Amino acid sequence: AQECQNLELEKQKRMERIRQKRAQLQELILQQIAFKSLVQRNQASEASSQAPPPPGSVIQLPFIILNTSVRTVIDCSISNDKCEYLFNFDNTFEIHDDIEILKRMGMSLGLENGKCSPENLRVAKSLVPKSLETYVTGMASGSTHTSSLSGLCGDQDC
């Protein structure tokens, strides 16, 4: 009985760690797909316009953005060497990193919320190595949220 109790505990701990690692792997897959989609989009638009975009109109990765109402008062102090900034806001704001922005731009093809069209699924699978294709299929249909063993580790031979 004691042995069973220990094994039951071990089983719960492992399942929780697998859940966390699956989420981590999904995020990595999303980032890989989002980055490749962005590069492909920019490559196609530069090819069609026969020229790179004007330097002032592009924002190179990595970046973060901070958005707030136009009515917000922002007091800003900057050190001479531009290595230190201090901002005081009198209103709410939001901070997002580039990964979040790419997802909002649709670069992760709807995989982040399980709403991926068949065409987007085909594109997404072409952007990842073969060993991850079953994962991408599971993410597209949101089916990797099961607690079954195969659902947990995302591929059938588990």
Partner 1 sequence: RSRILVSIGESFGISSSDKFSKINQMVSSSDWTLKRGYDGGSAPKPLKRL
Partner 2 sequence: RQQALQKEVSELTRAEDKLDELIAKCNLQLRLLTEDSQNKKLGYVMCQDLRNTVDPPDQLVMVVRAPPETQMEVSEPSDGYQISLKSARGPIEVFLCPED
Q: Which residues bind partner 1 (CB under 8 A)?
A: 27-28, 31, 35, 61-62, 64, 70-76, 90-100
Q: Token pair for residue 153?
A: 């580790």
Contact 91, 73 (CB under 8 A): yes
Pick from 49, 83, 147, 156: which binds partner 2 (CB under 8 A)? 83
Nearest approach in angstroms of CB 100 to partner 1 is 6
136: left (phi over 0), alpha (psi -120 to 50) or beta: alpha
Nearest approach in angstroms of CB 125 to partner 2 is 15
Nearest approach in angstroms of CB 111 to partner 2 is 14
Contacted entry of partner 2, partner 1, none for residue 99, CB cut-off 5 to 8 Å set by kind: partner 1
Does position 115 interact with partner 2 (CB under 8 A)? The reply is no
Nearest approach in angstroms of CB 29 to partner 1 is 11
Could you tell me the sign of the dihedral formed by the alpha carbons of 59, 35, 110, 148, in that order? Answer: negative
Contact 69, 91 (CB under 8 A): yes
Q: Cβ closer to partner 1: 31 or 150?
A: 31
Torsion of CA 147, 153, 157, 158, to 10 degrees: -70
